[in-house]
Amino acid sequence: MSTHLTWDMVNEISAGDPILGGLIKRRLAANYGEFLEILYDDITEGADEIRRQKHFIEKESEDGTTGRLQLFLKGRGYQCDFTAAGGNVDIEVKWKTFRWIGEAKKYTQVDKVYEGYLQLSTRYSPGTDPSGMAHGGLITYLRHPNAKEKMAVWKEALKDSFKDPSHCSFEDCNRFGPLGFYSEHEHGSHGTPFRVWHICLALHYDPLDKSGLATKARRAAKAKKSIKP
């Protein structure tokens, strides 16, 4: 190959690669808005990767699944750890001078998701854009059916939680469709606007075809055998 690595070659080499996607765009992010757009694309792709593995991670813990997402983001070049930002935040992403935090919750019931929302919006110090708006994310892992309905229920519960609904607004999410939305309200500690990206990773796995059922039973038996006394 030529000693030069051209932009065309980078595009060719990185085509379809889960790690290399968007590497130049990410490197050239010049402001918080650009960073956020690229990060949200990256998280969306990371979520796709995790969903593709859902049949292997049926029983995985909240931290285990979050670890997968963190590793994906690390591979894409972010600094991404379980670190403290006013408490034990689940995901803290850093890129150059930009910072973003996310709280991850297993969606078992709405109250638990709300607890995560409160942690995100009152306990941690989120990253802010130049206008002073803070940004964060609430990532839920759902291992039950009908994710669309569950997200609609969560959105309604969140709306109802505000004493004055005029102090919050909601927006659809293009990346996750009905499994995502944005909320905006005043950050509890900062008093500045706080925009939260709510997304649901639908990890429900319950195949009903014969082959799927047999595979599931085989995996369950194998998992049972591998448990040491």
Partner 1 sequence: MTDLASSLDSVAQVFGNGEERAAAEFLLRFLLSHPSTKHVNIGLVKELSGARRPSDKAVLRTLHFLAGESVGILSMKFEYLNDDEEPEDIDDDEARSAVQAGINPFTGEYDPECGRKLLIYFEPTGSLLP
**With binding defined as CB under 8 A, does residue 163 bind partner 1?**
no
Out of 94, 112, 155, 190, which residue is the one contacting partner 1 (CB under 8 A)? 94
**With binding defined as CB under 8 A, does residue 54 bind partner 1?**
no
* Smallest separation (angstroms) from partner 1 to the CB of 35: 11
9 three-class SS: helix
**With binding defined as CB under 8 A, does residue 208 bind partner 1?**
no
**With binding defined as CB under 8 A, does residue 223 bind partner 1?**
no
Cβ atoms of residues 66 and 46 within 8 Å = no
Q: How open is the CA angle 108-148-175, to the nearest 5 degrees?
A: 110
* Smallest separation (angstroms) from partner 1 to the CB of 3: 5
Out of 35, 76, 127, 158, which residue is the one contacting partner 1 (CB under 8 A)? 76
Beta strand 127-128 with 79-81 is unpaired
Cross-strand pairs, 92: 81, 101
Select 95 or 194, whichever has its Cβ closest to partner 1.
95
136/87 Cα distance (integer angstroms): 15
- Residue 177: left (phi > 0), alpha (psi -120 to 50), or beta? left
The phi and psi torsions of 101 (rounded to 5 degrees) equal: -125, 150
**With binding defined as CB under 8 A, does residue 1 bind partner 1?**
yes
Out of 31, 61, 79, 146, which residue is the one contacting partner 1 (CB under 8 A)? 79
Select 93 or 201, whichever has its Cβ closest to partner 1.
93
What are the contacts of 113-119 at 24+ separation with CB within 8 A?
113/138, 113/140, 113/154, 113/157, 114/157, 114/158, 114/161, 116/140, 117/158, 117/196, 119/87, 119/89
Out of 24, 118, 213, 220, which residue is the one contacting partner 1 (CB under 8 A)? 24
Region from 70-78, 108-116, 127-135, 161-169 binding partner 1, contact rule CB under 8 A? 70-78
**With binding defined as CB under 8 A, does residue 158 bind partner 1?**
no
Out of 32, 35, 40, 95, which residue is the one contacting partner 1 (CB under 8 A)? 95
Structure tokens at 68: 């997968």
Per-residue interface string for the shown chain with partner 1, residues 96-135, x marking contact by CB under 8 A? x---------------------------------------
72 three-class SS: helix
The residues of the shown chain that bind partner 1, judged by CB under 8 A, are 1-11, 13-14, 17, 19-20, 23-25, 27-28, 30, 71, 74-80, 94-96
